[in-house]
């Protein structure tokens, strides 16, 4: 039975069990049904909370595995780069070919920049990339708490569920 079905039946059992004007118990069977529904409701809520805990633990486990795989990926890439450098040193620019592999060389052009030697004041704006402006939300929050009015910003109180 779904939680909203339990709540609906619980309301009906309360209406049947008690007199709305006096609060007097009218039907003992309806009262017992109400208690059974309340127990079922509590069990359903507990089950969902335990499911949330399980999913959270599962997500944490995935995150740990993701970090472990990322570390292994980085180590493999670093090892491959190291071995490429070693091959470059061993071959001195010569080609190498077997039935299972071939090593060749290609020319490329890369820009090396010594930022200490560059005068940023003399460079034109087309050569400088700035990060886009970003709101300092902590400063805005503190200002609003002190009474400032900032259009488009407001403090909103929320209720966050904690399941432990």
- Look at 89 and 117; give whichever has higher pLDDT: 89
User: Tokens 């109400």 belong to which residue?
Assistant: 34
Q: What is the pLDDT of residues 43-53, one digit of tens each?
A: 999 999 999 99
Task: Give pLDDT, residue 57.
Answer: 97
Q: What is the pLDDT of residues 58-113, one digit of tens each?
A: 999 999 999 999 999 999 999 999 999 999 999 988 999 999 999 999 888 888 88
Phi, psi of 96, rounded to the nearest 5 degrees: -145, 135
Which contacts (CB < 8 Å, 24+ apart) does range 9-13 have?
9/33, 9/37, 10/34, 10/37, 10/38, 10/41, 13/37
Q: What is the pLDDT of residues 134-162, one digit of tens each?
A: 999 999 999 999 999 999 999 998 877 77
DSSP letters spanning 12-48 = HHHHHHB-TTT--B--HHHHHHHHHHHHHHHHHHHHH
Task: Give pLDDT, residue 147.
Answer: 94
DSSP-derived secondary structure letter, 102: E
Q: What is the pLDDT of residues 125-135, one digit of tens each?
A: 888 888 888 99
Q: Say how many C-beta atoms besides its own lie within 10 A of residue 127's C-beta.
A: 9
| Cα separation, 63 vs 56, whole angstroms | 11
3 neighbors 44 (Cβ within 8 angstroms): yes
Q: Which residues contact 143 (CB under 8 A, 6 or more apart)?
A: 150
Task: Give pLDDT, residue 164.
Answer: 65
pTM of the model: 0.58
Q: Say how many C-beta atoms besides its own lie within 10 A of residue 80's C-beta.
A: 10
């Amino acid at each position: 039975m779904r939680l909203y079905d339990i709540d609906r039946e619980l309301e009906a059992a309360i209406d049947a069990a008690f007199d709305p004007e006096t609060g007097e118990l009218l039907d003992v069977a309806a009262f017992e049904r109400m208690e059974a529904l309340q127990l079922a409701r509590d069990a359903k809520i507990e089950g969902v909370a335990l499911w949330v805990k399980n999913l959270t633990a599962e997500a944490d486990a995935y995150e740990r595995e993701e970090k472990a795989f990322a570390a292994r990926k980085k180590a493999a890439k670093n090892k491959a780069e190291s071995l490429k450098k070693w091959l470059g040193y061993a071959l001195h620019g010569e080609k190498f070919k077997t039935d299972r592999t071939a090593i060749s060389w290609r020319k490329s052009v890369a820009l090396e920049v010594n930022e200490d030697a560059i005068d940023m004041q003399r460079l034109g704006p087309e050569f400088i990339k700035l990060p886009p402006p970003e709101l300092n939300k902590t400063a805005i929050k503190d200002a609003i708490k002190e009474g400032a009015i900032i259009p488009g910003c407001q403090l909103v109180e929320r209720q966050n569920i904690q399941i432990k």
